[in-house]
Structure 1
Amino acid sequence: MSIQETAILEPGVAWLLIALFTALYVGLGWYFGRKDKELDQFVLAGRKVGLAVGTATAMATWVTSNTTMMAPQLAYQMGIWGMVGYSLGAVGLLLFAPLAKRIRTLMPHGYTSGDFVRLRYGNVAWRVFLGISIFYSFGWLVSLGMAGGVLTHALSGIPYWQGMTVILAACVAYTLIGGFRAVIGTDFIQSILILIGLVVLAWMVIGRIGFDEIHFSLELERPELLTLMMPAAIMFLFNNLLFGMGEIFHSNVWWTRAYSFREGVGLWAYLLAGLFWAPIPIVAGFIALAGPALGTNIPAADMVGPIISAELLGLAGAIIVLIMVFAALASSLDSLLAATAMLVVRDIYYRHLRPQASADHLRTATKVTILLLGVVTWLLCLPRITTLAELLHFTGAFVASTIWPIAAGLYWRRTNRWGATLAMVAGSAAGITAYFQIGFYVGALVGAAVSMVIVLLTTWLRPQEFDWEQLKEPPPKH
Structure 2
Amino acid sequence: MKKSDFQLYISGAAKLGVSFGVVSLLSRWVTGNTILSSPETLITYGLIGGIGYSFMGALSIILFGFLAKIIRKQFSEQQTIGDILREKLSPSGYWFMLTIIFITSFHSLFVQAVGAATLIHLIFPIPTFVGMMVFLGFCYIIGGIGGIDRLHQLAGINVTLIFAAVIVIPVYFFIQEGIYPVFDGIKLYHPYLLYIKNQEAILFIFTALLVFVGQVLLDRATWQRIFMIQKEKVRMTFTLTGVVWATIPLALSSLLMIVLFGRGFDNIYSLFFELVDKIQSTVLIILFVLFCFSAISSAISAELHATTSLFIKNAMDLFRPLSNNEKWKYTYWFAGTVCVILLFISSLLAPSPLKLLFFIGNIYAAIISPMLYIIFSKCKLPFIVPFSSFIGAVSGYVFMPITEDLKAIWISFAISSFICLSTLVFHIISKHIRNKL
Pair in the same fold by TM > 0.5: yes
Which residue of structure 2 aligns with residue 411 of structure 1?
Answer: 376
Q: Distance in 2 between matches of 1:47 and 1:136?
A: 29
By how many angstroms is 1:41 displaced? 0.7
Paired amino acid for 2:117: G
What root-mean-square deviation, in Å, do the aligned CA atoms of Structure 1 and Structure 2 show?
A: 2.4
Which residue of structure 1 aligns with residue 246 of structure 2?
Answer: 278
Which residue of structure 2 aligns with residue 18 of structure 1?
Answer: none
* Cα distance, 1:464–1:127 mapped onto 2, change above 3 Å: farther
Which residue of structure 1 aligns with residue 187 of structure 2?
Answer: 219
Matched, 1:384 2:349: yes
- Secondary structure of 2:231 counterpart: coil
- Secondary structure of 1:350 counterpart: helix
Which residue of structure 1 aligns with residue 47 of structure 2?
Answer: 80
Q: Distance in 2 between matches of 1:111 and 1:215?
A: 49
* Cα distance, 1:228–1:52 mapped onto 2, change above 3 Å: same
Q: 1:330 aligns with which of 284, 287, 297?
A: 297
Paired amino acid for 1:428: A
Alignment of 1:122-141 (within 5 A): 122-141=90-109
- For residues 426-472 of structure 1, what are the alpha-carbon distances to aligned partners after superposition, in whole Å with 9 as ceiling and x for unaligned? 22213334555544444543322322222222212333999xxxxxx
- For residues 38-62 of structure 1, what are the alpha-carbon distances to aligned partners after superposition, in whole Å with 9 as ceiling and x for unaligned? 1211111136233322110101211
Which residue of structure 1 aligns with residue 276 of structure 2?
Answer: 310
- Secondary structure of 2:261 counterpart: helix
- For residues 181-234 of structure 1, what are the alpha-carbon distances to aligned partners after superposition, in whole Å with 9 as ceiling and x for unaligned? 111221222011101111112212322333323332333332222112223222
Q: 1:424 aligns with which of 389, 413, 422?
A: 389
* Cα distance, 1:223–1:294 mapped onto 2, change above 3 Å: closer
Q: Is the 8 A contact 2:16 2:228 kept in 1?
A: yes
Q: Distance in 2 between matches of 1:176 and 1:252?
A: 14
Q: Distance in 1 between matches of 2:309 and 2:429?
A: 30
Paired amino acid for 2:24: T
Unaligned 5+ segments in structure 1 are 1-33, 467-478
- For residues 241-275 of structure 1, what are the alpha-carbon distances to aligned partners after superposition, in whole Å with 9 as ceiling and x for unaligned? 11111111112111111122233232222111111
Q: Is the 8 A contact 1:341 1:373 kept in 2?
A: no
Q: Distance in 2 between matches of 1:161 and 1:129?
A: 34
Q: Distance in 2 between matches of 1:334 and 1:344?
A: 15
Q: Is the 8 A contact 1:434 1:443 kept in 2?
A: yes
Q: Distance in 1 between matches of 2:238 and 2:329?
A: 30
Q: Is the 8 A contact 1:42 1:363 kept in 2?
A: no
Which residue of structure 1 aligns with residue 140 of structure 2?
Answer: 172
Paired amino acid for 2:365: A
Q: Distance in 2 between matches of 1:397 and 1:157?
A: 37
By how many angstroms is 1:111 displaced? 2.8
Matched, 1:451 2:423: no
- For residues 280-302 of structure 1, what are the alpha-carbon distances to aligned partners after superposition, in whole Å with 9 as ceiling and x for unaligned? 11111222223432425333x23
- For residues 373-427 of structure 1, what are the alpha-carbon distances to aligned partners after superposition, in whole Å with 9 as ceiling and x for unaligned? 1112112212124122112222222122221222232224479634422321122
Alignment of 1:10-409 (within 5 A): 34=1, 37-46=4-13, 48-87=15-54, 88-299=56-267, 301-304=268-271, 306-316=272-282, 317-351=284-318, 353-354=319-320, 356-409=321-374
Which residue of structure 1 aligns with residue 434 of structure 2?
Answer: none
By how many angstroms is 1:35 displaced? 5.6
Q: Normalization by structure 2: what TM-score?
A: 0.90
Q: Distance in 2 between matches of 1:372 and 1:320?
A: 31
Q: Distance in 2 between matches of 1:223 and 1:194?
A: 30
Question: How many residue pairs align between the two structures?
Answer: 429
Paired amino acid for 2:30: V
* Cα distance, 1:215–1:434 mapped onto 2, change above 3 Å: farther
Paired amino acid for 1:398: I
Q: Distance in 1 between matches of 2:10 and 2:307?
A: 11
- Secondary structure of 2:79 counterpart: coil
* Cα distance, 1:71–1:91 mapped onto 2, change above 3 Å: same
Q: Distance in 1 between matches of 2:383 and 2:4?
A: 40
Q: Is the 8 A contact 2:144 2:308 kept in 1?
A: no
* Cα distance, 1:465–1:159 mapped onto 2, change above 3 Å: farther
Q: Is the 8 A contact 1:72 1:287 kept in 2?
A: no
Which residue of structure 2 aligns with residue 29 of structure 1?
Answer: none
Q: Normalization by structure 1: what TM-score?
A: 0.83
* Cα distance, 1:257–1:437 mapped onto 2, change above 3 Å: farther
- Secondary structure of 1:79 counterpart: helix
- Secondary structure of 1:430 counterpart: helix
Q: 1:463 aligns with which of 421, 428, 432?
A: 428
* Cα distance, 1:156–1:284 mapped onto 2, change above 3 Å: same
Moved more, 220-229 or 138-147: 220-229
Paired amino acid for 1:367: Y
* Cα distance, 1:281–1:213 mapped onto 2, change above 3 Å: same
Paired amino acid for 1:63: V
* Cα distance, 1:162–1:82 mapped onto 2, change above 3 Å: farther
* Cα distance, 1:110–1:360 mapped onto 2, change above 3 Å: farther
